[in-house]
Structures are given as structure tokens and as C-alpha cells.
Chains A and B, each alone.
Chain A
């Protein structure tokens, strides 16, 4: 049997924590879903949400594997077409969409329902990172630099808001915010932006902005009601406040170690609303307690943290922006959902990435993770061609590491004459204890011979 041996560059530079935290989250989500969907009692196992989610995870993970061997820069050429497609779909929703719960958000897609606004988020992130990476802004973003990005943003935003889908629209805005702050604003722009936000808040809270928005159908009365019941759920314990009260009771009753797997009474007897999707975390916290809930938070922490490390080390603008945008996409989903579930934010329909049931959301998040990991591999994996063109490039480009900055680590291609021309640039070992083993080189996987 042939020994499977990954290229050591891949093994050393691939962002393993990113993958493992994502896998851990998917596994936790499946375990939780097994309990919340009552899969053990279902007559037909294959039709339970649990089984469906299993299939989606497998499909998503297979896709993830194949995406590793794909140069993310090819996405640049997809940026505009994808944006156009999502705008087209958003407009199509207006006419052919499925209406449910007073909102038209879905397109019929065979037996499935497809939500174009999910795709829109991805395509806006892609387009904006492409758009912003084309130029350098050494002094930060000026007003004129903001015009076109804002147009790109506003079109889908208004379309989504009109569906109406307040949660997704808000999520879209929050997702792209870090991109702008990442590039930095010029001071005058920053002051203007901050004062505009302040003015907007004042207008909505004090000066009748609510009425204006209500009148022009940007927000619906139920949004205001949701906000009010978020502020005081006891006003309507059976109506709007029900979800918040029940979610809080579910989480709180988990106490330290939880009520046990499949023992959560709030979700088992149907008191917890949407325990499979929006309030999955509440069900999890009920069954696994503070320990389980903080474990999930820890996994998210690892995921976002390593994704941010990818952004830092990406060494290239488009990759950095794209990775940042995708990280932000996952981060805000997580934050909004968790804040909603623990009662720190009004109820909006944003699922928790990897944990909540939902095939399209899972696949899109896995795609995001794949692209981030892909960006992390950037310099080490996809530069074969340029090295082939100029084999000495690594010699020419060597500079002294700058103070206060991580050295740009590079690896030369496997060279039979000089296996490690720059050992100081080798990445820190993932397995530091291996050096105490008898044959560290072999243990570390350096397969090539040292003396020819």
C-alpha cells in the first residue's frame, strides 16, 4: 500500500486549526441536531434533519478538499459575473419568489428553496475585495474612493431590505464594514462617517426616522415590536416575548454541566422555538451546560483567530481582503445569532454557522472556510509556475527580517542539493515535542536524502 504523503509545504503551511475547528463545529452541530431533531425516534431516519445535514456535511467537505487545489485568484474573474447574477436573482425573487411569513426571500429551485441573499453576501464580499485590491490607498480611503463601493453595496442592500429581510441586510452591512476599516479611512472621511452614523441613530431614535422608514416600507411594524419585546420580553410572555423567555430558560437551565444529551426538557417538549435552526445554540447550552457552550465558543474563537492569522500572513491585498470579508461573514453570523439567543439582541433569523441546521448555509460557510484556507496556502502552493520561470527568485528576494514584523517566511522548492537553504525561515513546528524523538527529521517528515 502506498504511503500517502502530503507535500511538506502543504503540511507545514496549511492552516490546520482552521480546518479542525470547523470540523469540530460541524460535529458538535450534528450531535446537537441528533438530539433536537429527535432522530432516534424518527420512523424514517433518512428524512430527518440529522440525516440531511450529514449528507450536506459530506458533500461540503468533499467540495472543500477539491477546492484546495484551486488558485483563489481565479475568483477575480468571477467577481463581476457573480455580482450580476445575484442582483438578477434578487430581482427575480421580487417576481417569482416564494412568500413565507410575510417575506419573499426564496426562489424555488427544484425540490429545494434557494435564498439569493446568501449568495449576494458572498458575491458582494468578493466584488468589494477585488475592487478595493486593484488600487493602493497609501493615505487611506477618500470620499471619491468610496462612491463606487457604496453603489455596489447599496443596490443589493436595498433589494434585500425590501424583501423584507432586515437580518440579512444588517448582516451584509456589518460584513463589509471591516474591509473599509482595514484599508483605513482618511481622517476627514472617518469623522464624516462617524458623525453620519451618530446622526442616523439620533434620527431613528428621536426624530421620527422610524415613521419615515415605516412609511416607505424599509422596516415593518413587527421589527419595532421585536425590538420592544427584546427590551422587555415580559410584556408578552406568550406572544413575541415567548421565544426570548424560553431561550433564556433553556440556556439557564443547563447550568454548569447541562441536563444531558437528549435530556433538555425545553427543546424536547417543544418550548424552545426553532431548536434546530435559529435557537440551536440554546438547545446545545441546555443539554451540555456552561461547559459545552463555552467549548463551542472556544471552537469559534479558534476558527476566527486562525482565519485572522491567514489574513495577516496572506501577503497580498486581494487575498487579505477576501479572507477578511469571509471571516467577517462568519464572525457576524456567529455574533448576531449568539447575541440573539442569549438575549442581547432582538430576534432576527440568522442561523449559527456550522451548528444550525441548513444545507445552503453550511455549504456556503464551508466554501468560505475553504477559500480562507486556500488563501493561507497562497505563496507556498500556487507559485510553482513563477519559480519554474525564475528558479533563483528565492535567492534574490531574501532580505533581513524587519523589526517588529513577522518575517515573510518562504520555502524554496525541494532542492536535492540544498534541502533547506533557509532553515531560519522554516515555520515553527506544529509538533515541538518531535525534536526529542530519535530521528527528528524522519519524524518531521523530511523525506529527502541529505547526502547524495
Chain B
């Protein structure tokens, strides 16, 4: 039938119209495709180019060990412990079940859990080596290494973990590492770090972050769609962090922590000749080992909720009224301001009446006629009321700020350092919106009232008295060395101020401080140690007003939190001081009775190198409660 169709028709079918429509339709479709290509390649081409660029290059960090923290003598305090971890490349494992069983047999871990973990890893990145088991023991390692030929895709890698070398050593000072917080991510020393990076979150680990951390390296590689590394494009090798050598004497530090024992308080041991910190103890304390490898939420909560604030470094961050120890600063300021001379004497009748108010001396009966020597030795309050009245609060504040660095942070290498408070008229106006009441100057001049200092600041003015008027910057870091031990920077003592005061005036103050400990009638007699002459000053700072004491003295036992803080600050030897010891005990009662014996033991440990912690009681770790605690707050 087909052959009948005429092949040479005179009237061939005319398809022109249909063809024209089809061509229009075809052109339409092609132009849609062309427009789409235009949009993808030219309009948004740059964006897609970046996307594909990011697709096939991968920037990985090369970690570097953190710098070590050494003590004064070069003893390692915080080390990098090597952790053996088992890594697996799931794509190279042909029989995951068998591998999991084998590894479970070798390491004693649960086979089911291991194979489940392996599955999740395989879903994440099939061809990259990923952490499977963390913290292998030596026995695990032996097993794994001997059977290594049977284990496909499994490697042992060594990672470093921060590890304090000594149990419970100066946790506040050393500090711990923690995951970088979202707020820190954008801030200066942490720029360039990624989510999940471990950075110092307290103590020296935090404040010396840039020095300890070093510079991490980076490796730019091309990867394929499976995440396999194909070639290395660029490597930026890391620089290990610098080691820091502290001024800290670890023996003294241990002694200080032991002496605090179960009391809440702080001990500062400092060299007055250059303000190097030899020991800086705060109690109660926490266990640094809890933070290795991340602290549990429960423990963190218990540390933070503890009413005794074990996380607080009381030595530099605790602010207390300095009590009578402030009389050292007052005497030196008054002498330098020319308000008194050593011979100036006032009469103490047990109280000073001023403007209708009564300002009492601790000795109800009064001291009679008191000169500078007796005022320090017996700690007469009325004498200093008079001195304060003569000085005026503004002059007083200016003098103590300038000469002793009170009311400000001097930049000891810890972020927890707090400035304390030296009140003046402007401060009161700013803080309360009220004018300074003249009567408020008098408590300040005996170290009460609005005045607040940290134990470190008390040690500062003691040291200024001891060294003849020079205020240095207190520091904890002695040297910074690179990882091979070459010196990078040595921290030189930095003079902040030299007090303008006659040497004989200094001598008279120091004679008086010597008398506090060594003369009969001195308040700090318990600060004596055999063989070395110690000078010092006691302090008992009240937490509540005297009226409240009256209430409790009638009613019975004073609650713990209302008891006085006990202070004792001292230096030795008297003639050529080489060490300052400041002891604060929170709510412990009288300074002469409670703080002075501890300072004496500290002094003894300084001069007698055979004293070590072996013979001293272990020190206090949260959550035990401090002494004197009877369950009420």
C-alpha cells in the first residue's frame, strides 16, 4: 500500500504554518534555557564560583602544644599530658562488626557501643580519620599495637591534654581550660579561633592566653566530595606556645595552702625588694583535675552555688576592710603629708566625740597619751581618728592611692584582680548622690567604713613600709621562654612610685611595727618566730556596725558571717626585709590571735627550707565547710 503513495506529487502537503509554530515554540524554549544560563553564569556566577571554591578546599588547623607553666625554680606545674586516642577511617573498614568486636576485646569496651559509634562516624565523614576511643591505657596500646596488622583503617594518635602535675596546687592561680564562649569568639586575644576551641578560662591560663597558646598552623588542602584529602596546597606550620616561669615558690605555696587548711581566707607571700609573688593562696579551693577534659555540669553548679565561693581567688579578688593593718598606710601618709611627726602625741580617752557622735577605741578604757610608736604598737584607734581628721578624706585617698596603689588594680597577671575601694568626696557624690559626711572620714582612717582592700594590697603597703617607700608592680611571671628554653622576655621589677618621706620617719614607723611583734604590750606577739626578727601589724576588721555586736554579745553566739575578719601583715627580717607575709582569715575573730600564728608559721617556712607540706595538714577543697561553720549563715 505504501508504494501507491505518489512520490512526486504536484500538490505536496504544506506544513509551513505548523513548522512556523514549532519553530516559535522551539525558539522560546531555547531562549528560556539561555536566559537561565545567563542568570546562573553571569548574574550570580561569582557567588557560585565562591561556593564551588569552598566546596573543594578545606582548611584544617594544626594544633600545637600549649606552653608549660613552671615555678620559680623551673619545676613544671602544668604539663601537657599525652593522651593516646584511637582514630578510625570508616571508609577503609570492610567489616565494621568484626573490627568493633576485635577492638572491644582488646580494650575491654562494649562492642555494641563501639560499632554504634563507628556507624555514626561513617555517616559523618567516611574517608577521614576520626576519633573513636579517647584515652587508651598502656595495656590497650600493647594489645592494639600487636594486632595492628589485623585492624583495618585504625590508627593511634597522640593528643596533648592539659594536666596539672601536683594535686590541688594553686588552682586559682593556674586556672583551667574551657571551651571558648560565644562572647569570647569575637574578642581580641581569641580572634581566629573556632567554636569548640579550648582556651584558658581562669587564672594564668586565661590572662597569659596569647603567650601560652602559641600560633596554630593551618593546612590548605583540596578534598573530593567524600572528604578525602587529595593534595596539599599550602601549609602554615604552627609555633608552639611559650613557657612561663613564675615567681612562685611552689614549696611556699603548698605551705600557704596547708596553713589555711580548712579556714576561709588568703595568704600572700611577697618579696618587698621587687614585689615578686612567692605564694598566693586562697581558701577554700577547688580541684583542678575536675576541669581536665571538661567539667561536669553538676560539679560546675555545685562550685558556683557554694556559699563559700571556692572559685573566688580571695588573695587578689576578695575585697575586705583592712582594719588596723591600714594604720601602716595611715601613718606613712600622714608623715609624708606633714600632718604629724613621730613625736606628735594625742590623748586617747577610749573614744573620740565629734559632732554628737562617739567614735570608740578598741580599748574601752583608752590608752592615755599616745604617740606614733604606741599608736601602732597598741593599735590605738583614737590616734588615727585624729590623724584622719587632720588629713581629710580627699588627701588621705590621694596619698594611699599614689603611694600604695590602693583603689586600683596594679596589673598582677590575673584577671580576677579587683581594685578595692578608697572612698573620697567625689566617690560618695557619684555613688550615693550625697555629700561626704565629715564623720565618715574617721572609720576610714582605721581601715573600716567604706574602705576596701584586697590581701594583695595590704601586702603592698606592708612591702612599701619594709623597702623604704618604693611601690613596684606586683608580678607573678618571672620569665617567658620558648619551647626550647631560650629566653624570650624577662620581667623586670617596675617602679610605680617612690614615696617622698624622710628616712628617719620610715625608721620610726618600722621600729613601731617591730614593737608590735617583739615588745611587751604589742598586739602581734604571736607573730614571733625563733631566730629571725619579724615586724608586723595586726588587724581585726568588723563586718557589721558596733551596735549589732552589742545585740549579739547579749544574745549569745555571733553568726559566722557577722564575725570579724582576722588580718596579720608582717615582714622579716626587720632590719633588712626580704619577705612580706599577709594573712587574711575570713570571719575568724581577732587578728593577733588567729592570723598572726599562721603568718609566723609561714615566716618560719620561708626561713627554714626543711619545712614542707609533708608535716602539714592537707588543705581545704570544696565542698567541705570552713572552720567555725555551724550550719547557719
Using CB atoms and an 8 Å cutoff, list the residues of chain A in contact with chain B. 73, 76-77, 130, 133-134, 178, 181-182, 184, 246, 248-256, 265-266, 268-271, 285-286, 289-290, 293-294, 297, 300-301, 304-305, 308-309, 311-312, 314-318, 320, 331, 335, 338-339, 342-344, 378-379, 382-383, 386, 393, 397, 399, 404-406, 408
Q: Mark B219-250, 1 if CB is under 8 A from A, else 0.
A: 00011111000100000000000000000000
B18 adjacent to A271 (CB under 8 Å): no
Contacts of A383 in B (CB 8 A): 7-8
The 5 closest A-B pairs by CB, nearest first: A252-B48, A315-B12, A255-B45, A253-B52, A270-B225
- The residue in chain B whose Cβ has the minimal distance to the Cβ of A402 is B14
The reply on B197 being an interface residue by CB < 8 A is no
- The residue in chain B whose Cβ has the minimal distance to the Cβ of A408 is B12
- The residue in chain B whose Cβ has the minimal distance to the Cβ of A327 is B22
Given A265-B52, A271-B225, decide whether A397 and B8 contact each other with a Cβ distance below 8 A. Answer: yes
The reply on B36 being an interface residue by CB < 8 A is yes
- The residue in chain A whose Cβ has the minimal distance to the Cβ of B50 is A253
Q: Which of B23-31, B153-161, B518-526, B549-557 contacts A (4 or more CB under 8 A)?
A: B23-31
A293 adjacent to B8 (CB under 8 Å): no
The distance in angstroms between the C-alpha atoms of A124 and B23, with both chains bound, is 23
A320 adjacent to B13 (CB under 8 Å): yes
Given A182-B18, A316-B12, decide whether A269 and B225 contact each other with a Cβ distance below 8 A. Answer: yes
A252 adjacent to B49 (CB under 8 Å): yes
* 26 pairs from A and B in contact (CB 8 Å cutoff): A73-B2, A133-B5, A249-B51, A249-B52, A251-B40, A252-B40, A252-B48, A252-B51, A255-B42, A255-B46, A270-B224, A271-B52, A271-B55, A286-B52, A289-B41, A293-B37, A300-B30, A301-B30, A304-B26, A308-B23, A331-B26, A343-B40, A379-B7, A383-B7, A397-B8, A405-B16
B22 adjacent to A308 (CB under 8 Å): yes
The reply on B495 being an interface residue by CB < 8 A is no
- The residue in chain A whose Cβ has the minimal distance to the Cβ of B43 is A252
The reply on B53 being an interface residue by CB < 8 A is yes
- The residue in chain B whose Cβ has the minimal distance to the Cβ of A74 is B2
Q: How far is the CB of A302 from chain B (nearest CB, A)?
A: 11
Contacts of B7 in A (CB 8 A): 316, 378-379, 382-383, 386
Contacts of A338 in B (CB 8 A): 33
A290 adjacent to B55 (CB under 8 Å): no
A255 adjacent to B52 (CB under 8 Å): no
B40 adjacent to A342 (CB under 8 Å): yes
The distance in angstroms between the C-alpha atoms of A342 and B39, with both chains bound, is 10
Q: Which of B38-80 contact A (CB under 8 A)?
A: 38, 40-42, 44-49, 51-53, 55-56
Using CB atoms and an 8 Å cutoff, list the residues of chain B in contact with chain A. 1-3, 5, 7-10, 12-16, 18-19, 22-23, 26, 29-30, 32-34, 36-38, 40-42, 44-49, 51-53, 55-56, 222-226, 230
Contacts of B32 in A (CB 8 A): 344
The distance in angstroms between the C-alpha atoms of A315 and B7, with both chains bound, is 9
Of B13, B29, B38, B40, which is in contact with the most chain A CB atoms at under 10 Å from its CB? B40
Contacts of B46 in A (CB 8 A): 255
Of A76, A182, A184, which one neighbours B2 at CB under 8 angstroms? A76
Q: How far is the CB of B37 from chain A (nearest CB, A)?
A: 5
Of B13, B40, B222, B225, which one neighbours A317 at CB under 8 angstroms? B13
- The residue in chain B whose Cβ has the minimal distance to the Cβ of A182 is B18
Given A251-B41, A386-B8, decide whether A405 and B222 contact each other with a Cβ distance below 8 A. Answer: no
Given A256-B45, A266-B55, A405-B14, decide whether A311 and B37 contact each other with a Cβ distance below 8 A. Answer: no
Question: Contacts A270-B225, A297-B34, A378-B7 given; 6 further ones with Cβ under 8 A?
Answer: A248-B40, A252-B49, A269-B230, A270-B224, A271-B56, A294-B34
Of A253, A300, A342, which one neighbours B51 at CB under 8 angstroms? A253
A178 adjacent to B42 (CB under 8 Å): no
Q: How far is the CB of B504 from chain A (nearest CB, A)?
A: 82
B37 adjacent to A290 (CB under 8 Å): yes
A406 adjacent to B16 (CB under 8 Å): yes
- The residue in chain B whose Cβ has the minimal distance to the Cβ of A271 is B225
Of B1, B14, B222, which is in contact with the most chain A CB atoms at under 10 Å from its CB? B14
Q: How far is the CB of B193 from chain A (nearest CB, A)?
A: 26
B19 adjacent to A256 (CB under 8 Å): no
A269 adjacent to B33 (CB under 8 Å): no
Contacts of B15 in A (CB 8 A): 182, 311-312, 314, 320
Q: How far is the CB of B18 from chain A (nearest CB, A)?
A: 5
The distance in angstroms between the C-alpha atoms of A178 and B23, with both chains bound, is 12
The distance in angstroms between the C-alpha atoms of A314 and B44, with both chains bound, is 44
A250 adjacent to B52 (CB under 8 Å): yes
Of B37, B42, B230, which is in contact with the most chain A CB atoms at under 10 Å from its CB? B37
- The residue in chain B whose Cβ has the minimal distance to the Cβ of A406 is B16
The distance in angstroms between the C-alpha atoms of A331 and B33, with both chains bound, is 13
Contacts of A378 in B (CB 8 A): 7
- The residue in chain A whose Cβ has the minimal distance to the Cβ of B10 is A397
Contacts of B51 in A (CB 8 A): 249, 252-253
Contacts of A290 in B (CB 8 A): 37-38, 41-42, 45
- The residue in chain A whose Cβ has the minimal distance to the Cβ of B41 is A290
The distance in angstroms between the C-alpha atoms of A130 and B32, with both chains bound, is 33
B40 adjacent to A379 (CB under 8 Å): no
The distance in angstroms between the C-alpha atoms of A268 and B222, with both chains bound, is 11
The distance in angstroms between the C-alpha atoms of A178 and B18, with both chains bound, is 10
Contacts of B22 in A (CB 8 A): 178, 182, 308
B37 adjacent to A294 (CB under 8 Å): yes
A318 adjacent to B37 (CB under 8 Å): no
Contacts of B18 in A (CB 8 A): 181-182, 184
Contacts of B225 in A (CB 8 A): 269-271
Q: How far is the CB of A131 from chain B (nearest CB, A)?
A: 12
B19 adjacent to A342 (CB under 8 Å): no
A252 adjacent to B13 (CB under 8 Å): no
A269 adjacent to B222 (CB under 8 Å): yes
B48 adjacent to A253 (CB under 8 Å): yes
The distance in angstroms between the C-alpha atoms of A248 and B7, with both chains bound, is 50
Given A312-B15, A342-B40, decide whether A252 and B2 contact each other with a Cβ distance below 8 A. Answer: no
Of B2, B29, B37, B56, which one neighbours A335 at CB under 8 angstroms? B29
Given A265-B52, A265-B56, A379-B7, decide whether A316 and B45 contact each other with a Cβ distance below 8 A. Answer: no
Contacts of A320 in B (CB 8 A): 13, 15
- The residue in chain B whose Cβ has the minimal distance to the Cβ of A73 is B2
A342 adjacent to B2 (CB under 8 Å): no
Q: How far is the CB of B10 from chain A (nearest CB, A)?
A: 5
- The residue in chain B whose Cβ has the minimal distance to the Cβ of A273 is B225
Of A271, A285, A318, A339, which one neighbours B5 at CB under 8 angstroms? A318
B48 adjacent to A269 (CB under 8 Å): no
Contacts of B52 in A (CB 8 A): 249-250, 252-253, 265-266, 271, 286
The distance in angstroms between the C-alpha atoms of A300 and B27, with both chains bound, is 11
A249 adjacent to B12 (CB under 8 Å): no
